[in-house]
Structure formats: structure tokens, C-alpha cells
Structure 1
Amino acid sequence: MATIPTARTTGSHGLGREAPRRADRPEAPARWERPALAAVLGVAALLYSWGMGHAAIHPYYSSAVRSMATSWRAFFFGGLDTSGSITLDKVPGAFWPDAVSVWIFGPHTWAAALPHVIEGVLTVWLLHRIVRAWAGPFAALIAALTLTFTPVTVVLNRATIPDTALTLLLVAAAGALQKAVRTGRLLPLITCGVWVGLAFQTKMLQAWLVLPVFAVVYQLTAVDSPLRRALRLLLSGAVTLAVSCSWALIAWMTPADNRPYVDATSNNNPFSLVFGYNGLSRFSDDGTAFGAVPATAASRVSGNTGWGMLVNHTVGPQIAWFLPLAVLAVVTALVWRAREPRTDLLRAGFLLWGGWLAIHAVVFSVSNGNHVYYTAVLAPAIAALAGGGLALFRSAYEAGGRRRLWLPSAIVLTVAWALVLDRPTWFASRLLVFAVIFAVCGTFGLWSSGSRASRGLVQGSLAAGIAATLLVPAGWAVSSLHPRYAGASTSPTAGPVGEFYHRALHDPSALRRAELDRPSARDTALLDYLIAHRKGEKYLLATQAAYPAERLLRAQAQPMLVMGGFTGKAPFPSAPQLGNLIATHQLRYVLLTHLRPTTPATTWVKSHCKRIRSGAYGWRTRGNFGLYDCFTPADRRG
């Protein structure tokens, strides 16, 4: 069996003395490890699943999930309605688990949210496993705790947004890469490519951001010759590309008449959806590129960009509590390990997670706006670096000398930074008091304890210091269990920040969330009217964009023609196509709204169809909608 002479022996104290370690045989767990991990996973499961019956399901995505659960065509292509007339404006991979859950358990809100809870808990468990193999059990426990209590992670895992699956799959890819570096085997590297490819099926190009980091880390730190490492990287890259583009390739090769129209594109091309609308357009001024249609203002947020976005008033409390510690850990580790051999596993781990953090921070900073929950993908890297950094500083503390001061200093820095992040709101001011007290006790104990100090005193001081660093972010995370502090279901955020929170303070109705199979009286009345007057038409209703259809699709899985897709700007159907559907009695009713852009198809409806009085279908007021009957041409009605 080959050994790696520069690996670290990680005993119960985390990072310790230099010693050889077998690359393929994990260290036996200490007595405290499994109970501690079980406790962390239990807390994570409780946080993520609390009140799951009223989870913050995304109104647009969840309507598609219900349709995908009842139709294979809609399931595979990500059709928004059961007929699969048009796709989501995303690839469907992230929603397949949701659809399967709804298919098994029925159209319940908790059934749609369950896969995201499982994905979140699995991510915590997997990160613990990966960090343990890299930096030891102490580092792994800190990483798991940090990830569990990261506020944006908690709110995201309580929603139905693709980033939960993206984060899980990328963490799995990082673990496979770490194993490839540690063992020198090809299979883990290929597995890494598969995981990244599957992550691409959930969030497309964002999954590829880690590839340059993975390639550099493997080329710099893996065993074997440079040429052999490069060839292996090319093979793994080919696997990544094949898995990533598999769905788009299948959809592209399927005749257009046999699949839904690809939303968000002007050319019905799935590659335009992936690389245009959800790719290059994120960096263009007009939001269009490579066949993409212009996006809505809501999907191209104007804030949360620039080099300070990770620490601004809204984003900072979601993700940045351990950011200074993470940066300090990377810089310190690279300096302290500069003279180690090229294959040093400890340094490789800091390069991996530090590169993950850096490349995402750069891309988010230069894009044309980000939802807050995008930053959840940073949480595993920050958590791993926090755990690895504290373990590194603990090892230096136990070794004695001038470096022993780094551990208490890191704790003080983290708690002081919490004061900076929380100060604009003073949301967790009481917790800050306890955090400062714990930090003082912990750092005083660590600073005053010499090499002959009792083991119990050192461990107690360290525990107090770690508790001090976790108290305030945990408070923000737990606050999201109340709907007022959870943000909108379309853009979850924790705590008293963001537009949704301020709107909810003055309008309690904003706290009402979308739910599956629980239509309002207004929606029920419209559905009852449409079903009662349906005379064999293929589509129950056509709507102007997805916005009017979402509520109805969440209530019942019905075939609906969603004209224009999510934004209302996709050129489907054309006016002649719409007229043909009506002439062949495949469609009768159309629901229009002035809140979405006018298209040739909507203009055709207004000129050829008759508007129905809202009272006829049980609505007291029309609101923002108008229902049109297209049973016969308007000029024959007299």
C-alpha cells in the first residue's frame, strides 16, 4: 500500500504532528465523534424541516413540480403544465427529486419541500466526512456546525430552489477530487467529473465555476507525472462535459413537435437556454445573449453586486460571519506550509476550499446582480476553511511558542466581526452580549493557560470560544423559522433585512405563501367555471406568461398553454399558431394581464375574442386579469 509521507495525523485533537498515514484507510473515530455528528445532523434536520407543511415553496417552480409529477413528458423536459407546452426557464434536474416526492406522497407543500431538507442534511454530513479526511475530526465538527448555522443555508433548505441540490453535488465533487489527490487513483477523478456534470443539471454554468480550481489543485498537488496528471484531467473534463450537456443534447435532438417549446429562448434551442439566458446574459447590459429573450427585472436584480457585495447590509448577515476567519486560515496555512512537499494534503485542502471561495466571490462581484441565496454555494467553503483554520491554530497552540496566540486571536476576530455585521440592525444584540462573554472567557483561558495547564481547562476555554463564534449567526438562522424573518419564497433571506421584511412589517398579507393543492376561493371559482365550460379542448386555459398560471397549476394539474413562458417574452405561440389552436377547438379560454408585456398573440386575443364579465366566473373584481372566450371569432358575435 502506498503512503503519503506528508499527510497529517489527526487524532482526537485535530491537526497534530507530522506522520505518515495510509491514503486508503480512514482513522477510527474517537468515542465522542459519532454522538457529536448525530447531534449536529439532528439540529440541521430540525432547523430545515420545522413547519415544513407551510414551507416557502417557490410559486413558479412548485407549479411545474406538480405538473412534472403527473406527466412523463413534463417530467423529463421540465414542462410547466401537464401537456408540456413550454418548459421552465431552467433545466429540470433540480426539480426531479421534488416531482418524485410529490408523485409518491401526493400534491402537498411538505412533499415538494422534503427533498431540499434531505439535500441540506446530506450536505452537512458529506462536508463533515470530507473535512475529517482532510483535517481531522475537530475540524470536521466545526465545519459541520458552521454550515448548519449559516443563515442563508437554513432559509434556502427551507425553500424549493435549485441551489440546495447544486451545493450538495458540488460538495460531493470536492470530496471526490480530494480522494483523487489523496489516493492517486483515476476513478475518484472521473467521479468528480460526474458530480460536477450532475450539478450542471441543477444550475447550469454556475456548476462549472469550480472547474478551474479543481484542475489547478489536482495538477499542483496530485501524485504522478505532470503529463499523466494533465491527461487524467482531460479525461475527467470530457466526462464532465458529456454529463453536463446530456439533457440539452437530448432535448435538441428531439423534434420540436415532440417536446415543449424551450422557454427564455427566441429560437427554441436548449443550448440558448443554458448558455444564453442562464449564462452569458447574466453579464450583458441588455440581458440578452446567444438566442436568449430579455429577462424580467425581478430575475435580474440590480443590487448585490460589486466587490463589497459579500459584506453588504443584506448579504453579509447571510453568509459572511466566518469570512475573515476563512481568509485568515487560507493565508496562514499557505505561509506556514510553504516549504512542505508539493503533495502536501493539508495545503491542498486549503487551496481547494480557498479557491472555491475566491472564484465565486469574483464572479458574483462582476455579474449584473445576484439574489442573496446565490451565496449559499459559498457556505461549504467558508465552513471547511473555518474548521480547518481553527484546527490548524489549535495545533499551533498545542505546539507552544509564539504561534499559540493565533487560536485566541482568531476567536476574538470572529466575534468582533459578528459585532460589525449585526450592528446595522442590532438584531442579535442579546446574543452578542453572551458571545462577548464566552469569547472573553475562552480567550482568557487560552491565553493564560500554559503548557502545564489542565486539559479540561483548555478544552473548556476552546468550547466557550467556539460557542461565542456561533451564537450570533445561529440566532439569525433560527429567526428564519418565523415567516417574517425568512424572506420571500422567491428570494429567501434570514433576519430583519431585505425588501420583503420591510414590506411584511406594514402588510401582514405579504407573509402568505404559495402552497400546493390549497387554492383560494378566487382560484377555485375560476377553475370550476373553466372545467364546467370545457367541451373537449386540449387546453383548459391559455395565460399571458407564467404569472397568471402559477396559482392554477399549483391547485390542479391541468394542461395550460403558457404563452410567452416565465417572462412573457418568449415567441411562443405565434399569433397564427394560437389562431390555429382555437380554430381546431384545442383552446377556448385565454387569461390576460396588463402586468406582462403585450405580444402578437395577446393582441390577436383582444381583437378576436370576447371578454367575459368577472362576475360570470365568481370574481367580484377583475383585478389585474381579464378572461377571454375565443369560442367563435369576434366578428360573428354581432
Structure 2
Amino acid sequence: MKTLAPPPTPVEEDGARARRLFTGAPDDPRWARPALWAVLVLATALYAWNLSSLTGNTFYDAAVYSGTKSWKAFFFGALDAGSFITVDKPPFALWVMGLSARAFGYGTWQLALPMVAAGTGSVALLHRLVKRDFGAVAATVSALALTLTPITVAITRDTNPDPVLVLLMLLGAAALLKAVRTGRAMPLVWSGVAIGFAFNTKMMQAYVVLPAFFLVYLWAANASPGRRIRNLAAGTVALIVSSAWWMVVVDLIPASSRPYIGGSTDNTVWDLVIGYNGFGRIFGASSSAGSQGNGASFGGEAGLYRMFNEIMGGQISWLIPFALIALAGGLVLRGRAPRTDARRAALLLWGGWFVLHYLTFALAEGTFHPYYVTAMAPGIAALAGAGGVMLHQAFRESAATGVLPRERSRGWGWVLPAAVAVSSLWAVVLLRRVSGSGTPYTVAEVVAGVAGAASVIGLLVARFTGRQRLTGVAALAAVVALLAGPAAYSASAAASSTNGTNPTAGPNTGGTGGTGGGGGGAGGQQPSGGPGTGSGRTGQAPSSGNGSDSGGGTSSSSESDGAATESGDEGRTGGAMGGGTGGATGGGTQVSSAMITYLKKNQDGATWLVAVATDQTASSIILESGEPVISMGGWSGTDDAMTLAGLKSLVKSGKLHYIVVGDSGRGSTNSEISTWVEANGTAVSDYSGLYRLDASDVT
């Protein structure tokens, strides 16, 4: 009689799971899991290299610091610990960084850590999603492509919210694909929750992928039509609730009990969603009313070619030609598959992800920064890996002797070589933009050109001779050719101090916003005596234009104080308040370290150290002084956050003693406030534009 082996003990099961963490599933190729770990180590190294040199976006850094001082400021995403005004985004990414800062102290790595984790997590998650449907080779190529996307490296080395946004969107995609496979409602509900949290990270940008999500589920889900509709309704409810809860709570709180909603025209989050962070981004409108304006673009002129221009090309476009060919080829190859075919559903999802983002970013006439397109990178990377493997398989079958599958034809023997040739040529063109036509070829150019040529020749030889072994070598050469350029740009970003406001990778190729990985960014000062002191979060105060993604980035030329569009305020003109940073509030008024020292010495118990014109100035002072500072006009200086009556109330209650009054241009203060302050306040003679106000000055 045969004796059965005893069942494995829990300890053995735990040990097996631990081993699989490093070796992968039993049916995986032996190289698959080590390759994944190598890619994740590479991603972490690129994103976290020389972490102490990172400066971050001072606008968000100041809000995170304020959130460590006040739970009220934390919840609302207020710029200052006194909660006078919020930043112009929902606070989820600030919460993530804020919890890290509260747990480990405020400093460079504490704020950067969640972003590095989000970036590496996105790579791991994309690998898992692609591997399920297309195998280990496709997953590894996709993960490597995402890791080496130049703009992704640049933005992950920053404190803008985009890495968190991308991870949440990928979590939504993972749940959606599970819902498609199983036909069950709960995965779709979790997909809606993930996108809802993404909405609370960067508002309407999180919704760009929704048309693809809805259509893929309706078409390919393994369920009856009625059940698909019911499940989609449940997922939609989850999406609405998880998106709107913070907005509803904030708008229900009386305005007198919460901060002013920065970026809005009527002090509501709803207006911020629809106007400034909604249609304003697409059409250049400044509010929900839809007034038109020429929004600031740091990525070049709007149009279908934008992703390939001299600013954007090196950031995102390397694999776009290959991804498009792979998408089209993959869909044709799956043309006769059943409706519920998982591979076609995945191709539709990633293709929709890519196309929707491409059209949104390319045609947007409002404020546009290059780093927005990091949200497009997962779609491109997935198509490059999954579609590339499908094209390779079709090529092998076309080049092999014998009878082809019915859906194949000899024509597939030309598709993969053509895709590699076009993409390799485009890589060389991008690299020559930097080196210049009259200069010797760089190492990256030589690698891209030689490897691309070797790949195409190898594929063609295999095509006509039937030597199948050549196809594997040629495919590896293609990967090298297509990733040589992105790798060079990514290494440049990792080795440089990223521009915290408008991060880009690689060298300057000309045009606004193309400052490169080491271009001109500067960090805010450490709060004096704050928890982050001595952690390396030091640097010169940011120059004019630093701040949120709704505002300016650095450009190749100095920004004019009077140029609203250059400062990135989406065509808002004639504003009441404005201001720069780096010690200047515009109009010739300087906020120096000496002035900050004076203000702290004479704060006299006031809640706010000083009131200034804009967020840019306020954030710099907050980070240097560690004290709350009022931004009266928000990011662009046009918010109606401060009224004369409100100012009088703050002065009378002793919560504010000092105000900086600008002269003209972007640094100008609301004329009514300026007139009253100059008439009733006491000028501080040592600092131009600084006035002291006490309760006795309020009549």
C-alpha cells in the first residue's frame, strides 16, 4: 500500500512562500525573479541616488512642514500652520509625505522616501500586471522601460504628487483587470476607490484613464451584460464616494472655520476641481465660468506633435513609435479571440491609457509642465513589453518553416524589423538634438544606432534563412537600442540635483522648461530649529517661478514680474496680488534673511509671522523661519483670500502684526489693502515695503 506524505506544516508553507519571494513561482523561468529584483534595485537606485541633494518643490514642502505642526493644516492641505490658505491640490500626497515627516522628522529623505517607494512600487506593480497576461519576458521589458523613462526618474526625485498619482492609477488598473477576468463586482469597487484616491491626489488628471476603464470592462468582462452594468454601477458609486468625500466635507465647513481654498475663485473645492484644475488645464480657462486665456506651457506649443518636440521628446517619446506599432499589431493578432480574451482586454486597457493621456497632454492649452506626462509612461511601457513580445512571437512563426497558424501571414516577418528600425532611428534623432549635427556621435548614439542596425539585420537574416536562434539575439539588441537613450537621460537625472518645480531629465535641448535634470532648481531653507535641521534640506531660496505645478517652472530666461503667463497662472490677468520668491515679492520689495530674523524677534505672540503677496514668497519664508506666513493672493496672486475686513480682523485680534506691501507688477498688493496699510501702519525703515500694524491702528 502506498503511503501518503504528511501535509506541509505552516512553517514549511511560510518558508516556501519566503523562497518564492526570491525565486518566483514554480512555473516561472529561473531568471525571471532575479531579473525583477535587479530592475527594482535599479529603479530604487535611480530614484534615491544622492538623496540628500534633492531639493523638492518648496510649495509642497512648506505645506508638508505646516502639516507637521498642525493637524488642521494637515487635513486641509494648508500652506501655513495657521491654516489661512490651502495649496491648489487635494492633500492626499501631502498626507503621505506628512505622515513620513511626523514619523521620522522633517527633512530631505523623509519627504522623498514616500515618492521613491511609490515609484519603485509602480514598477513592481506594472511587472505583475503584464506578467499575468503576457509572461515574464514582457513583464521584465515593461518594468525596465518604466524604470528608465526619463521624466519618471526626474519627477520621482521630487516632492510633486505625481508618483503617488501614478501608483494609485496602477492599483486601479490592477483591480479593473481582475474584475474583467472574474466578472465580480468587488474588484471593480476597489478600482473605483483607487481612482478616487488618485483624484484626491491631483483631481481631474486621475480621470483621464476612466473612459478606457469603462469600455474595457463593458466589452471584455466575464459576465452577462446585465451583470456588467450592475457591477459598473457599483464601481461608479465607489468612485464618486472616494473622490468626493474630502471635497464635500471641506465645502460643508463654514468658510470662517477653514482655510481659503487656494486656486479657486469662490473659496470652494468644487470650483477648484472644475475650473483651475479642470477645464482650465485643457482650455486655458481660469475658472469654471470658462473664461479663456493662454495658459503657461513649459512643454511647448499645444498640438499633436508636442510629445516629440525639443522639450518633450527626450522626456517621454523614445518608445512611442514602437508602442504604437505594437498596439496595432497586438490587436490585429488577437482579432479572432473571444470577447473575454484577457490579452486583448489588457492591450485595450494599456492602449487606451496611452492614447487618452497623449491626446490630453498634447492638446492641452492650459498650464502644462513636462512632468505631467509621467502618468503616460505605464501605458507606453506596458505596450512596449507586451506588444513587443507578441510581435516577436508572430515574427518567429512567420520566419519558421512549415504551416503557419491561420491568423498569421508571412507579412508579420516585416512588422517587428520595421518597428525596431523606426524606433532606433527616432532614438538617434533625439540624441542628435542634444549633441548637435556638427559634433561627434556620443556613446548613447553609437549604442542606439549600432544595436538597432544589428537587431534589424539579425531579424532580416532570420526572416530569410529561418535561423531561429538569431531572433533571440536580435530581440535583445532591440531592447538595448531602444533603451540606450532613455538610460542616458535617466542617469543624467539621477546624477543631478533636480529642478524641484519643473523637473526634467537630460541636458537642455532649448525652449522653455527644458532645463534638464540639473537645471536651476533650488530648495527651501530648513525651518530654524525645526525637526529637519541638519538633515541636508538646505539651499538657496527658490527663484521666481518656483512653486506648485499650477505655476511657473524655471525657464531658460528670467521671468518678468509682469508676465502672468510666464509665471504659469493660466491666463489669469489683472490680479490683485502677485509675487516671486527667492527673497523677492516683486515690485522691488525684498524679503531677506535679515528681515525674517527681525520679524521673528518682534512677532509678539502673533499667529502669523507676516503676510505677503503670494504662495511662492510665503513658502520660502515658512521653510526658512519655521513660522506660519499668510499668502494673501494664492499661487498667482489673484486669489481673493485676503480682504480688507479680514486683514483688519487679524490685526485687531493680535494674530498678525506685519505685512509686506509691493509696488507694482506681479509683486503688487491689492490696492485697497495696500492703501489702508500705508495709511495706518508704521513703515519699518530698514526694510522697504514692510509695515507694522497693531490693534490701535484699526479704526
> Under TM normalisation by the shorter chain, which class is it?
0.7 to 0.9
- The answer as to whether partners of 2:147 and 2:153 remain within 8 angstroms in 1 is yes
Structure 1 residues without counterparts, runs of 5 or longer = 1-24, 616-621
Deviation at 1:583, TM superposition (A): 2.1
* Partner of residue 502, structure 2: 491
CA gap of 1:510–1:224, structure 2 versus 1, over 3 A, is closer
The one-letter code sitting in structure 2 at the alignment partner of 1:437 is: V
How do residues 581-620 of structure 1 correspond to structure 2 at under 5 angstroms? 581-594=650-663, 595-599=666-670, 600-614=672-686
Task: Supply the distance in 1 between the matched residues of 2:284 and 2:188 (Cα, whole angstroms).
Answer: 38
- State which of 333, 336, 339 in structure 2 corresponds to 1:336: 333
The corresponding residue for 1:381 is 379
Match of 1:530 among 599, 604, 609: 599
Partner of 2:694: 631
Conserved? CA contact 2:295–2:365, under 8 Å? no
Question: 1:46-195 maps to which residues of 2 (within 5 A)?
Answer: 46-195=45-194
Q: Deviation at 1:175? A: 1.2
Partner SS, residue 122 of structure 2: helix
Q: Contact conserved, 1:546 with 1:566, CA < 8 A, in 2?
A: yes
Q: How many residues align?
A: 596
Would you say the 8 A contact 2:172–2:190 is kept in 1?
Answer: yes
Q: Which moved more, 1:423-432 or 1:237-246?
A: 423-432
2:504·2:514 contact (CA, 8 Å) conserved in 1? no
Q: 1:584 Cα deviation (Å)?
A: 2.4
Q: In structure 2, do the counterparts of structure 1 residues 218 and 286 end up closer, same or farther at CA, with 3 Å as the change threshold?
A: closer
The answer to whether the Cα contact below 8 Å between 1:545 and 1:563 also exists between their aligned partners in 2 is: yes
Separation in 2 of the partners of 1:27 and 1:273?
Answer: 51
| TM-score (norm: length of structure 2) | 0.80
- Aligned match for 2:427, one of 414, 418, 421: 418
Which residues in structure 2 correspond to 1:395-434 (within 5 Å)?
Answer: 395-401=393-399, 402=410, 403-426=412-435, 429-434=442-447
Q: Alpha-carbon deviation of 1:604?
A: 2.4
Q: Aligned-residue CA RMSD in angstroms?
A: 2.8
Whole-angstrom distance in 2 between the partners of 1:66 and 1:352: 38
Name the structure 2 match of 1:238. 237
Deviation at 1:452, TM superposition (A): 6.8
Question: What is the one-letter code of the residue matched to 1:473?
Answer: P
For 1:609, the aligned partner's letter is G
Q: How many angstroms apart in 1 are the aligned matches of 2:183 and 2:277?
A: 36
Alpha-carbon contact 2:396-2:471 (below 8 Å) kept: no
2:88–2:272 Cα contact (<8 Å) kept? yes
CA 1:410–1:307: 2 relative to 1, 3 Å: closer
SS of corresponding position for 2:112: helix
Q: After superposition, give the CA deviation of every residue in 1:544-592 in whole Å (9 maximum; x if it has no partner).
A: 2212211121124322222122222221221011012212222111123
CA distance in 2, matches of 1:153, 1:504: 13
The answer to whether the 8 A contact 1:296-1:567 is kept is no
State the one-letter code of the partner of 2:262.
D
Where do residues 392-541 of structure 1 align in structure 2 (5 Å cutoff)? 392-401=390-399, 402=410, 403-426=412-435, 429-449=442-462, 453=467, 455=469, 457-483=470-496, 486=498, 488-495=499-506, 496-498=508-510, 510=520, 512-517=522-527, 518=538, 524-541=593-610
Alpha-carbon distance change, 221 to 632 in structure 1, aligned in 2, over 3 angstroms: closer
Aligned partners of 1:504 and 1:208: how far apart in 2? 29
Matched with 2:359 is 362
1:73-123 deviations in whole A, cap 9, x for unaligned?
000000111111111111111211111122222221222122111110000
Any conservation in 2 of the 1:48–1:158 contact (CA below 8 Å)? yes
Greater alpha carbon shift after TM alignment, 575-584 vs 400-409: 400-409
Q: Which residue of 352, 369, 390 corresponds with 1:371?
A: 369
The more displaced of 434-443 and 324-333 is 434-443
Of 363-372 and 74-83, the range deviating more from structure 2: 363-372
Letter in 2 for 1:85: F
Residue by residue over 1:490-518, the C-alpha shift from the partner in whole angstroms, topping out at 9 and shown as x without a partner, is 1111122355788899xx99454335444
Say yes or no: does 1:561 pair with 2:574: no
Out of 307, 310, 315, the residue aligned to residue 313 of structure 1 is: 310
Task: Report if the CA contact (8 A) 1:120-1:157 is conserved.
Answer: yes
Q: AA paired with 2:484?
A: L
- One-letter amino acid matched to 1:494: A
SS in 2 for 1:425: helix
The change in CA–CA distance for 1:307 and 1:27 in structure 2 (over 3 A counts) is farther
Query: Is 1:578 the counterpart of 2:588 in the alignment?
Result: no
Cross-structure match for 1:13? none
In the superposition, the TM-score normalised over structure 1's length comes to 0.87
Post-superposition shift, 1:344? 1.4
Unaligned runs of 5+ residues in structure 2 are 1-23, 400-409, 528-537, 542-590
- What is the SS of the residue equivalent to 1:449? helix
Aligned pairs for 1:226-265 (under 5 A) are 226-265=225-264
**Which secondary structure does the structure 1 equivalent of 2:349 belong to?**
helix
* Equivalent position SS for 1:100: helix
- CA distance in 1 between counterparts of 2:510 and 2:676 reads 40
Is 1:85–1:261's contact at 8 Å kept on the other side of the alignment? yes
Q: Is the 8 A contact 1:151 1:494 kept in 2?
A: yes
Q: Deviations over 1:316-355 (max 9, x none)?
A: 1110101011111111122222222111111111111111
Structure 2 CA distance for aligned equivalents of residues 614 and 509 of structure 1? 34
- 1:71 maps to amino acid: S
Q: Residue 548 in 1 paired to residue 617 in 2?
A: yes
Q: Partner letter of residue 103 of structure 1?
A: R
Counterpart code for 2:610: L
**CA-to-partner distance for each residue in 1:566-624, whole Å, 9 max, x for gaps?**
22222122101101221222211112334334313333223321221236xxxxxx5xx
CA distance in 2, matches of 1:415, 1:459: 18
User: Greater CA deviation, 75-84 or 458-467?
Assistant: 458-467
Letter in 2 for 1:106: G
Secondary structure of the equivalent of 2:435? coil
Q: Describe the superposition over 1:383-437 as per-residue Cα deviations: whole angstroms up to 9, x where unpaired.
A: 0000011110121133234223433332222211112223322377321112222
- The aligned amino acid for 1:62 is D
Distance 1:635 1:87 in 2: 27
The 3-state SS of whatever aligns with 2:660 is strand
**Deviates most, 393-402 or 329-338:** 393-402
> What is the DSSP-based 3-state SS (H/G/I as helix, E as strand, rest coil) of the residue aligned with 1:260?
coil
User: Residues 311 and 514 of structure 2 are in contact (CA less than 8 Å); yes or no, is this contact kept in structure 1?
Assistant: no
Q: Is the 8 A contact 2:662 2:669 kept in 1?
A: no
What SS does the corresponding residue of 1:408 show, helix, strand or coil? helix
Whole-Å separation in 1 of the counterparts to 2:25 and 2:339: 22
1:182, 1:345 within 8 Å by CA — same for their partners in 2?
yes
Q: How far apart in 2 are the matches of 1:306 and 1:150?
A: 22
